[in-house]
Amino acid sequence: NAGVMQNPRHLVRRRGQEARLRCSPMKGHSHVYWYRQLPEEGLKFMVYLQKENIIDESGMPKERFSAEFPKEGPSILRIQQVVRGDSAAYFCASSPDIAKNIQYFGAGTRLSVL
């Protein structure tokens, strides 16, 4: 049973470009969460999605950031017009249902903005 898969592991973008981060949850998991880890800081919640629905996006910056979890395929975190301050590790987690609470994490995508 493969774990949470994120790709790419490393992503380099120039200022103004778009970044697309992908997350495939564990098999049987329909709940996906995105977190951001800035240098020297803890993980910060961004967004929680179920299949085709955004449930909680209260941690997501209001502009340039969006997330989706389509019926088929991985969840995508999209950052438009990246700036240097977006450089961080972005982690995805999944859980089988909300009641169990345990979120299993992927290895993260390290985004570097030049």
- Residue 45 CB, shortest distance to other proteins, in Å, is 4
Selection from 85, 87, 96 nearest residue 28 by Cα: 96
Query: Distance (Å, rounded) from C-alpha 2 to C-alpha 18?
Result: 28
**Rounded Cα distance, 56 and 11, in Å:** 26
Positive/negative CA dihedral, 104, 79, 64, 44: positive
Tokens of 100: 């169990």
Residues 21-60 that bind other proteins (CB under 8 A): 31, 33, 35, 41-45, 48, 55-56, 58-59
Under the binding rule (CB under 8 A), the answer on residue 103 touching other proteins is yes
**Quick one: 9 or 15, whose CB is closer to other proteins?**
9
Residue 114 CB, shortest distance to other proteins, in Å, is 22
- Residue 96 as a binder of other proteins (CB under 8 A): the answer is no
Residues of this chain that interact with other proteins (CB under 8 A) are 3-4, 31, 33, 35, 41-45, 48, 55-56, 58-59, 91, 98, 101-108
